Amino acid sequence: MTRVVIAGAGGRMGRALVEAAQADASLEIAAALDAPGSAAIGSRAGALRVTSDVAAALAAGEIFIDFTRPEGTLAHLAACAAAGRGMVVGTTGFSAAQRAEIEAAAQRIAIVMAPNFAIGVNAVFKLAETAARILGDDFDVEIVEAHHRHKVDAPSGTALKLGEVVAGALHRRLGEVAVHGRHGDTGERPAKAIGFHAIRGGDIVGEHTVIFAGVGERVEVAVRSQSRATYALGALRAAKWLRGRAPGLYEMADVLGIR
């Protein structure tokens, strides 16, 4: 049985993780955490009470699951590295410097980090890569994503990952060809641009579409998440896979065996 610690247990994703972990007989929730001062402190997370005691949580658990905010995740990362605990990171919005901290910690502990843990989304990463290789430079690429009104970063980490996958398949550097939205007199579209467009509204869980627009035909690869349970189930699958794994920075492609 894998003993997991769930951070951000009072949030939307945290509650989904708690519910999914309770339904999995191969998992035990060792601790449920939230930030000090959070209204969730003291509330129930299954059979446990939500606390802010990271040290006690790490003493009880084996794998730490974090879908919070970059600053909180990095504080948890330091604690996990010191305690020798593996970590599943679903937080997005890291800067390059913060990403470097995670890569450094992965030399000491095993980390699965992904912009999206849903199994279907990770299948779409592979499908988009394959489509890009087949279609090549004759097709323009646009990525459209939609999320709920509470999401604070844009484009989503999943959209950026799709851009990275497609750019890699087309032998382009994403930082040099990415275009984020358009307004005004933008001029003709650069041939190798990869466009990103973010929609925010209501309670949309998550939708991502990669559009390959050619002359006379259009190919679309899309995935629509209808519940956060898809993310939670993938993250818990990663947590079980991570148990006993050697230090390193892994992706869901490693967990699913589709690299």
Catalytic positions, written as ranges:
147, 151
Helix, strand, coil abundance in the chain, percent, nearest 5 = 40, 25, 35
Tell me the two tokens of residue 257.
Answer: 């065996």
Instruction: State the Cα–Cα distance between residues 172 and 31, nearest whole angstrom.
Output: 43
Q: Which residues pair with 37 in a beta bridge?
A: none
SS3 category, 159? helix
Is 31 within 8 Å of 11 (Cβ atoms)?
no
Instruction: State the Cα–Cα distance between residues 82 and 222, nearest whole angstrom.
Output: 40
For 57, the enclosing helix (H) or strand (E) is helix 54-60
Q: What is the 3-state secondary structure (H, E, C) of 58-123?
A: HHHCCEEEECCCHHHHHHHHHHHHHHCCEEEECCCCCCHHHHHHHHHHCCCCEEEECCCCCHHHHH
Instruction: State the Cα–Cα distance between residues 207 and 5, nearest whole angstrom.
Output: 28
Handedness of CA 135, 141, 145, 151 (dihedral sign): positive
